[in-house]
Amino acid sequence: MKVEVYDDIACPWCRLGTHQFHRALAASGAESDVELVHHPYLLLPDAPEEPRPLMDTVVEMFGPHQAEAMVTEMTRRGASEGIEYRFDRAMAVNTLTAHRLRWLALHEHGAEVQAALATALFDAYFRDGVNVADHTQLTELAERVGLDGGRVRDFLATEQGDAEVREQVAAARREGVTTVPRFVFESGDLIIGVTSTETLGDALRKARGR
């Protein structure tokens, strides 16, 4: 069974939602029967190509007091789920290149490797302060989940996958995707935005007919 998720690497709720999905999947005992396929979404399509502190961007968007409250709550929520958010380290940058790499992982290695790469990218962005647009750092992340470093370097040096990822993002917007994460089950059920491990587990059981 395939479950699709629309998400952006720069979305902290997407990091939490996919973590909850994998927890729900492990609890269901259906890990060998279900694959999670990540589809790209760009929260900020015009995000800069050069990294800058994420907190600077958040403060500009929401103001200092609301920004502080938001990151404090997100950090608390993450910790309760076993996720470490380090917003003081995170670097805001355009995520298109990272989405291209996820596209490569899916098409050449399958959903399981793509999911592992997605988790590595989330941790790199939100925990480790990595510039997820940097080709060298992306190559190192890809190698950790089993991709060939030479292939990744050659791929990133081209525009391969660029048009495909942009079209997927455009298609998502045409289909009305405005909030991520957005989980799509084969049953047709949707789970959009903030959710829980329990809700995702219920959706998995329903989709599997159990």
CATH number at residue 55: 3.40.30.10
* Omega cis (within 30) before 181: yes
Task: Count CB neighbours of 57 within 10 A.
Answer: 19
Q: Which pLDDT score, from 0 to 100, does residue 123 have?
A: 98
Q: How confident is the model at residue 70 (pLDDT cuts 50, 70, 90)?
A: very high
- Domain with 122 in it: 2-207
pTM of the model: 0.95
Q: Which pLDDT score, from 0 to 100, does residue 210 have?
A: 56
How many domains does the chain fold into?
A: 1
**101-132: pLDDT as tens digits:** 999 999 999 999 999 999 999 999 999 999 99
Would you tell me the crossing angle of helices 149-156 and 96-109 to the nearest 10 degrees? Answer: 130
**Measured distance CA(24)–CA(36) in Å, rounded:** 12
If we measure between CA atoms, which residue out of 210, 108, 188, 87 comes closest to residue 155? 108
**Measured distance CA(66)–CA(71) in Å, rounded:** 9
Would you tell me the crossing angle of helices 111-126 and 96-109 to the nearest 10 degrees? Answer: 160
HSE-up (13 A, CA, CB side) for residue 204: 24
**Measured distance CA(103)–CA(38) in Å, rounded:** 9
